[in-house]
């Protein structure tokens, strides 16, 4: 009997909605793609996006920028981070997070990861109490929210400013509160593989007017900050405008125009991602060799990808497992590889950072696998993919 093979694509996104395409065409026909190139009395798509996203997020202010990475860098600068400062962040994250810290001249101090792929709050507390860092760049990596109430209690007790990297948790909640609304700022991405797709793009939210005024000037507002859709009042800029450099990271009108219609559909997209996640997880959890991260009751996830570990595997087993899955059309990523591949890399590859000893994280990542769940998949696709993975694992050591 022949083995089943999945023939779909793990990188194929849904088409941009027709109303978004029409909006983009209108912008192209106008020729006015720069966010500040507006007709008299016109709001513009970028300011419109800022206003609508702030409303949806439940945040006082929102700033649209060129990428999630730029949102991180601007947030760090606007929070007052200086070259040489120590910044706490997750050991398990994607390279743009430590990259943002390095880009502002700061030093990343990595915090261990727990077995559920969240920031280890015990290690965070110890490093907050004994180190020099006064900022935590908390990465909700691959959509896993830690206990945000406890995290904020530790941060507040130790004078730590929290900036949230929400690239993978747009729309997720902890105890009813959206990710990005816990600390000083939330940083979001609209890169193709995130929850809204503009190719590249980012959003920065905050409730602090001075922080957001500084961030707006950093983004390259050319003193046109009054044209923003969800920015602070002009008084917040009076002194800061003379002290803050322009780093030219503005989102353009074309990308904003295709994001606005997607925002209207985001809640339904989240529901569909979670259905995909639960379908795959429901099959994988019946395989005793596979360990899935626990999803706490207080967490409302966005399951656009799924992660699992196979703790009994050695390095060679992991490599063979990837090969066998690929032969049957299932594209997995492995965070335990010695060399970075695609978006997967570990702290040993970030040689622009100080070398750090993170045995718990290393152990967890050594057998950690990751899989995208694009909305182009059907429920039947998800069932087949999960069955293929479980079948390969159940056959024993690969």
Q: In the predicted model, what is the mean pLDDT of the chain?
A: 96
Class of domain 266-394: alpha beta
If you average pLDDT over residues 265-281, what whole number do you get? 98
If residue 310 lies in a helix (H) or strand (E), which one and from where to where? Answer: none
Model pLDDT, residue 197: 98
Q: What is the largest CA-CA distance in the chain?
A: 74
Angle 112-115-117 (CA atoms, 0-180°, nearest 5)? Answer: 70
**Tens digits of residue pLDDT in 300-339:** 999 999 999 999 999 999 999 999 999 999 999 999 998 8
pLDDT score, position 87: 98
Closest CA to 10 of 328, 395, 390, 270: 328
Q: Rounded to 10 degrees, what is the CA torsion of 344, 95, 159, 362?
A: 40
User: What residues does 185 pair with on adjacent strands?
Assistant: 163, 206
Please give the Cα distance from 19 to 236 (Å, whole number): 36
In which residue ranges of the chain is CATH 3.90.1150.10 found? 266-394
Cα separation of the two ends of the chain: 20
- The pLDDT of 195-217, averaged and rounded, is 98
H/E stretch holding 206 = strand 202-206
Q: Which pLDDT value is given to residue 344?
A: 84
pLDDT interval class at 340 (50, 70, 90) = confident
> What digits encode the pLDDT tens for the residues 232-243?
999 999 999 999
Pairing of strands 305-309, 368-372: antiparallel
User: Taking the CB of residue 56, how many other CB atoms lie within 10 A of it?
Assistant: 16
Return residue ranges of the chain for CATH 3.40.640.10.
18-264
Nearest Cα neighbor of 166 from 190, 192, 197 is: 190
In sequence order, the β-bridge partners of residue 300 are 173
Phi, then psi, of 108 in degrees rounded to 5: -80, 130
Q: Rounded mean pLDDT of 163-182?
A: 98
Distance CA 276, CA 281 (A): 9
Say what the pLDDT of residue 343 is. 83
Alpha-carbon distance of 248 to 196, in angstroms, equals: 22
Closest CA to 216 of 52, 385, 50, 57: 50
* Burial of 57 per CB tally in 10 Å (0-12, 13-18, 19+): buried
**What is the number of other CB atoms lying within 10 angstroms of the CB of residue 372?**
19
What tens digit of pLDDT does each residue of 67-123 get? 999 999 999 999 999 999 999 999 999 999 999 999 999 999 999 999 999 999 999
pLDDT surpasses 90 at 35: yes
CATH architecture of 18-264: 3-Layer(aba) Sandwich (3.40)
The stretches of 265-372 forming alpha helices (DSSP H) are: 266-284, 315-327, 359-365
Buried b (16+ CB within 10 A) or exposed e, 149-170: eebbebbeebebbbbbbbbbbb
Q: How far is CA 250 from CA 33, 34, 179, 372, in A?
A: 11, 9, 23, 29
Going across the sheet that includes 173-174, the strands are: 177-178, 173-174, 299-300
Quick one: which H or E segment has residue 67? none
Say which residues have a Cβ less than 8 Å from residue 129's Cβ, sequence separation at least 6: 158
């Amino acid at each position: 009997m022949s083995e089943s093979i999945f023939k779909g694509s793990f990188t194929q996104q849904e088409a941009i909605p027709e109303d978004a395409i029409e909006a983009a065409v209108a912008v192209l026909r106008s020729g006015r793609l720069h966010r500040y190139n507006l007709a008299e009395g016109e709001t513009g798509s970028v300011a419109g996006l800022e206003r609508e996203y702030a409303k949806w997020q439940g945040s006082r202010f929102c700033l649209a920028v060129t990428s999630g990475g730029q949102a991180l860098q601007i947030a760090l600068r606007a929070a007052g981070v200086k070259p040489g400062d120590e910044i706490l962040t997750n050991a398990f994250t994607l390279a743009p997070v430590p990259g943002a810290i390095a880009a502002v001249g700061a030093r990343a101090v990595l915090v261990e990861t727990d077995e559920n792929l969240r920031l280890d709050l015990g290690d965070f507390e110890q490093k907050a109490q004994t180190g020099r860092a006064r900022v935590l760049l908390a990465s909700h990596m691959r959509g896993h929210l830690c206990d945000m109430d406890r995290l904020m209690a530790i941060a507040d007790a130790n004078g730590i400013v929290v900036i949230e990297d929400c690239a993978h948790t747009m729309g997720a909640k902890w105890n009813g509160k959206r990710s990005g609304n816990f600390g000083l700022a939330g940083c979001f991405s609209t890169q193709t593989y995130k929850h809204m797709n503009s190719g590249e793009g980012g959003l920065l939210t905050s409730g602090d007017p001075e922080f957001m005024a500084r961030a707006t000037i950093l983004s390259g507002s050319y003193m046109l900050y009054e044209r923003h859709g969800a920015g602070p009042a002009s008084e917040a800029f009076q002194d800061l405008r003379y002290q803050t450099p322009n780093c030219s990271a503005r989102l353009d009108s074309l990308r904003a125009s295709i994001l606005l219609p997607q925002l209207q559909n985001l809640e339904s997209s989240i529901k569909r991602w979670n259905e995909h996640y639960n379908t795959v997880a429901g099959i994988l959890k019946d395989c005793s060799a596979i360990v899935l991260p626990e999803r706490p009751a207080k967490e409302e996830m966005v399951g656009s990808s799924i992660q699992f570990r196979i703790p009994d595997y050695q390095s060679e087993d992991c490599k063979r497992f990837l090969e066998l899955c690929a032969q049957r059309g299932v594209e997995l990523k492995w965070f335990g590889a010695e060399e970075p591949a695609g978006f997967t890399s570990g702290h040993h590859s970030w040689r622009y950072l100080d070398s750090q000893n993170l045995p718990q994280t290393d152990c967890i990542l050594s057998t950690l696998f990751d899989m995208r769940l694009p909305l182009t998949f059907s429920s039947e696709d998800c069932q087949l993919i999960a069955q293929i993975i479980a079948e390969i694992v159940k056959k024993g050591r690969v």
